[in-house]
Amino acid sequence: MRGPHNIIRLVRTGATLERTGAMNVVLDAFEAPRPLRFVAHALGKPFRWLGYKGDPSMPPATRALTALGPAYIKFGQVLSTRPDVVGQDLADQLRVLQDKLPPFPVDVAKAEVARELGQPVDRMFSEFSESIAAASIAQVHKARLADSGDMVAVKVLRPGIERAFRKDVDAFYFAARIVELFAPGARRLRPMDVIEHFDGVVRGELDLRLESSAASEYAANTKDDEGFQLPPIVWSLSARRVMTLGWADGVPLGDNAAIDAAGHDRRALSERVLKLFLLHALRDGYFHADMHQGNLKVAPNGDIVAYDFGIMGHIDEYTRRVYAEILFGFIRKDYKRVAEVHFEAGYVPADKDVDEFARALRAVGEPIFGMDATQISMGRLLSYLFEVTERFGMETRTELILLQRTMVVVEGVARSLDPHMNIWQVARPVVEDYIKQSIGPKAVAGDLARTARVLARFGPRLPTLVERALIRQAMPPEKPRGPGWGKLLAAAVGGAIFGAAILFSLGTLL
């Protein structure tokens, strides 16, 4: 599929970028070299008349992507999470990309639901509305369950969307190959890696079973979080192309007038949305990575309700501890400790000077802490921090980029509810509590227990390993020999002693 026939699609893409004025915006964002600019304009200018006009009221980049269709809209959304690739300015434009398309007819949606779930829609739902939200990949209908009468939301993939995305993604791969061929200097942007990342995201969103699974895991992690709820998944009415979940009653979190009219405390809501995000990112390492106002509601009882689980973020436990120590160090203005954490984690090469790095971090932190509470921004801090670490040779870490992007979005949501909130005062207790839980004696005991369990798994294999070593030791000299039974026995005994030491330490700590 990734052959020259994709040139036609790329010509139409280039023509649309030229016609909407987005070509130079995109090329500048990627710092494209001259050969690549020449090829891009060569594909666009002569065929400008073939390009889609788009909506002139939109900024050039969003205008072009919206005109080109669902795959391009989704590509723009994914790139909005990668300011390290497209630059902060373009990422900001793409972040507000309106993912709205004309809905497909309700009769088509019902046919898709019946085909996917294997029974007539009227047997499953006593009511099934017109589309209430249409996006690039799917649209949502409000329905009532026939057996219980409960209201639900039914998400249905667009007909033929898989084939449409496959064709466009193939064109993206072809374009990435052209970039690598004509502009070797642009390889530092890893165009093939960017497209592979996008391909993986789209494949996940084109299987609604995966989104249902993400929602289920997220619900299991957060079931005891006060003031937060998720609509339950109706597994019996969910499949690859259909997802059914409970209806979320409430007021949109972006409608301050409706929130006030309902009698909710916007200041409390602003603090809670920030605390919940930090709690999920630090405690669980699994967070909603698209927490804008359109995906959040306030329930009648005041709970925050989240939905749309197509983009979720994951951070491993070690990275969470590093991230928490960095935040905690900034909260306490302990820049030397923040610098040491970067070196201990291997984020900054060991040949750099830790004191010089600490001074650079102070230059980042002090101006921010000198600001009024309404101007203090954790997202801005992380942005500046990444700029400094890049100068000191830190490699880009995708999971932290997504975390930073989500942090900026959540801050925006919180400040829209209460412009005067102090981000650091709200964040401090969450970070401090995580530090106590993850670095204190209980955390050490937990780490030792996990290590002991891993070592214990190898216990039954030790006799076999020793026997094999002895057999290899007895082999004639000309044949390949193992590492030697003496070394293996020593390793086995050492492992057993280490395991005993761990168990002893556990008993002492507990």
Q: Any idea which residues carry the catalytic annotation?
A: 290
Q: How many whole angstroms separate alpha carbon 397 and alpha carbon 256?
A: 36
Sign of CA dihedral 345, 350, 354, 358: negative
Q: How many whole angstroms separate alpha carbon 149 and alpha carbon 168?
A: 41
Q: How many whole angstroms separate alpha carbon 303 and alpha carbon 41?
A: 52
Sign of CA dihedral 472, 475, 480, 483: positive
What separation in angstroms does the CA of 488 have from each of 374, 462, 463, 502? 62, 9, 11, 21
Q: Which of 67, 95, 27, 69 is CA-nearest to residue 168?
A: 69
Decide if 271 contacts 424 (C-beta within 8 A): no
Decide if 161 contacts 99 (C-beta within 8 A): no
Decide if 73 contacts 97 (C-beta within 8 A): yes
Complete DSSP assignment for 6-43 = HHHHHHHHHHHHHHHT-HHHHHHHTT--HHHHHHHHHH
**Element holding 442 (H helix, E strand):** helix 441-457
CA 16-20-24 angle, 5° bins = 90
Instruction: Tell me which amino acid residue 294 is.
Output: G
Q: Token pair for residue 133?
A: 């939200």
Distance of CA 499 to the CA centre of its chain: 37
Q: Which of 308, 316, 329 is CA-nearest to residue 281?
A: 316
Q: How many whole angstroms separate alpha carbon 171 and alpha carbon 309?
A: 27
**Residue 263 falls in which region: left (phi positive, over 0), alpha (psi -120 to 50) or beta:** left
Q: How many residues does the chain have?
A: 510
Q: Which of 373, 396, 374 is CA-nearest to residue 385?
A: 396
- Beta bridge partner(s), residue 245: 153, 233
